Amino acid sequence: MSTPPSGSGFGAVSRAGRATGRRIDRRSGRAIIVFCVLACVLAWVPVSPLWLGGDGLDHPQGRLLIGLMMFTPAMAAFIVLRFVDRPASIPRATGMTPLRPAGRLLRYCACGLVFPPIVMLGGVLLATAAGAYQPDLANFSGFRVFAAGLGLTDADGQGVPLGALGLLAALQLVGVLLSLPMMFGEEWGWRGYLLPALVPMGVVPAAVAHGVVWGVWHAPIILLGYNFGRPDLIGLGAMTALSVLLGAVLAWLRLASGSLWPAVIAHGAFNNSTAIVVVFSDADAGLGTSSTLPSAVWAAIGACLLTLIAVGYAVHRIRSSMHPNPHKGAAS
């Protein structure tokens, strides 16, 4: 398994794509296949009670079992790295180390923490403009219903519940921190092992391919209606599309920073930021008591992710044209 070069910004991502000749050797290819099969098969094990008991997502231990599922990519990565690929340094190969330069690492971690709520807010605005989302900025009634279940406010109150909103914001930050072990369980597999392993075939193909595998890995819960309320191939396709888009942003954080940790933080922040959709909703939409979001809202969030990717790529192209690489094309 090759270690992509660390650096700063899209330039580092581009160097990663050129680093190993765009070829995956036989041993690495075998390791990638073993990892993908293991990760997708192991994912069914912890959530099998959701299927066998007939309770589905209503299983009393559902959240715990889904949380355990999130560690299966790390389990698959450990097996492959220990017994198949065998890099010289597993922590370095998977981006766990080094933790320096600290300033650059902290900047990318901050990006990972900030961009998810911005994307969610953009999704809310876009869905509202399209008439697919009903906000309530006067009384925050949807949030009140949600917060009442947590004992934060009165479901039938009036006005803006500033105190409850502030407390929820603090709880969300705590939620990101508490979710980091589970996020690491996923990220060590997807962005720690799989993405760098695929980079030799090019950054864009690697980002897309690892996103597809990540999306398919969710099948055991998506086919029960998780996230989209569609327990079918359409739901799985939607999850795969979202995984490719979000995976592309997380891939940039991983490759540009040379570290796994910004992607870990961003993944946790994204999962926790879905509460923003509930915060601004009208109670009549029922989002305060629902475990899924409307398809149109997910589509709007996906559109915002796609816009973020497009803008980032455009900036990269502009910077590349202003500062051309003198070594490009030298080896031909």
User: What would the pLDDT profile of 100-151 be if each residue is shown by its tens digit?
Assistant: 999 999 999 999 999 999 999 999 999 999 999 999 999 999 999 888 887 7
Residue type, 166: G
Q: Percent of the chain having pLDDT more than 70?
A: 91
Identify which of 252, 210, 245 has the alpha carbon closest to the alpha carbon of residue 111.
252
Instruction: Provide the token pair at 93.
Output: 């190969």
What is the rounded distance in angstroms from the CA atom of residue 211 to the CA atom of residue 236?
13
- Between 29 and 146, whose confidence is greater? 29
What is the rounded distance in angstroms from the CA atom of residue 214 to the CA atom of residue 304?
20
CA terminus-to-terminus distance, the chain: 25
Cα distances (angstroms) measured from residue 128 to each of 38, 114, 133, 281: 41, 22, 5, 10
- 222: pLDDT strictly greater than 50: yes
Spans of all domains in the chain: 9-23+99-322
- 12: pLDDT strictly greater than 60: no
With 0-12 / 13-18 / 19 or more C-beta atoms within 10 angstroms meaning exposed / middle / buried, residue 154 is: exposed
The DSSP result for 205-251, as a single string, is HHHHHHHHHHHHHTHHHHTTTTTTS--SHHHHHHHHHHHHHHHHHHH
Q: What is the mean pLDDT of residues 197-211?
A: 97
What is the rounded distance in angstroms from the CA atom of residue 186 to the CA atom of residue 6?
21
- 21: pLDDT strictly greater than 60: no
- Output the pLDDT for position 322: 82
What is the rounded distance in angstroms from the CA atom of residue 144 to the CA atom of residue 140?
6
- 9: pLDDT strictly greater than 60: no
- Output the pLDDT for position 320: 80
Q: Record the pTM.
A: 0.90
